[in-house]
């Protein structure tokens, strides 16, 4: 849903960057185009909506750049009917995009404010297959599993083996793995039997996974 001229220009530049990186799935591009990105970011950052830079959102958190979001969702290879778990709702944008590809998306965050705002934004654009909850996702969401796809927007110090039981056979999880400070490796983990097959797909710099719900916000 690209309406403003600056959005059209930004989206065109975004597509050129994706094609340069070999990310061209038609269904993914259509899902991004159909999801009004400016609805999910503060007004004074609208001109940067389709940039590759992180943008501040509520609760002192940040929204990942469009290129990284696209690369992660492409790596998930979401198929129709898939059940997806997202840990780290943030603005709600990636949940909205994934909802156009999947059967159902569960997205969770430790901040009540982020959860409530994301729910409103997602509902306002007519998407009804996303469940948004305030939840401590450090150990996943056993009560709703198994999932076909899991994406985590915060870093683990080591391979999160506790998630293997929450993935369906041949399910895919994307998670950053590495130290709290500095860069982490973005890993694509595919469930094979009772173990993960790992493929490293990039380098990122995320906050470490936080435990427990936020007390106030």
The pLDDT tens digits for 180-201 are 999 999 999 999 998 899 999 9
Residue 137: what pLDDT? 85
The domain ranges of the chain are 54-204
The pLDDT tens digits for 77-127 are 999 999 999 999 999 999 999 999 999 999 999 999 999 999 999 999 999
Question: Out of 3.40.50.970, 1.10.357.10, 3.40.190.10, 3.40.50.150, which CATH number does the structure's domain 54-204 have?
Answer: 3.40.50.150
The pLDDT tens digits for 44-74 are 999 999 999 999 999 999 999 999 999 999 9
Helices (H), 21-158: 26-34, 66-76, 93-99, 112-124
Block residue for tokens 């994307």 = 174
Question: Is the model's pLDDT at 1 over the cut of 70?
Answer: no
Q: Under a CB-based contact definition with an 8 Å cutoff, are residues 178 and 184 in contact?
A: yes
Q: Under a CB-based contact definition with an 8 Å cutoff, are residues 146 and 177 in contact?
A: no
């Amino acid at each position: 849903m690209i309406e403003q001229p600056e959005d059209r220009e930004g989206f065109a530049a975004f597509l050129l960057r994706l094609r340069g990186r070999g990310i061209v799935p038609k269904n993914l591009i259509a899902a991004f185009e159909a999801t009004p990105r400016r609805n999910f970011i503060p007004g004074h950052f609208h001109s940067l909506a389709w940039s590759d830079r992180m943008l501040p959102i509520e609760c002192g958190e940040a929204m990942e750049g469009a290129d990284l979001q696209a690369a992660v969702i492409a790596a998930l290879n979401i198929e129709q009917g898939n059940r997806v778990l997202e840990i780290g709702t943030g603005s709600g944008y990636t949940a909205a995009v994934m909802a156009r590809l999947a059967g159902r998306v569960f997205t969770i965050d430790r901040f009540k404010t982020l959860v409530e705002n994301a729910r409103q934004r997602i509902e306002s654009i007519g998407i009804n297959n996303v469940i948004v909850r305030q939840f401590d996702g450090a150990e996943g969401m056993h009560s709703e599993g198994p999932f076909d796809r899991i994406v985590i927007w915060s870093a683990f110090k080591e391979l999160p083996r506790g998630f293997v039981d929450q993935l369906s056979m041949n399910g895919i999880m994307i998670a950053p793995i590495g130290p709290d400070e500095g860069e982490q490796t973005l890993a694509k983990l595919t469930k094979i039997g009772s173990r993960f097959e790992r493929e490293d797909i990039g380098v990122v710099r995320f906050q470490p996974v936080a435990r427990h719900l936020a007390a106030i916000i």
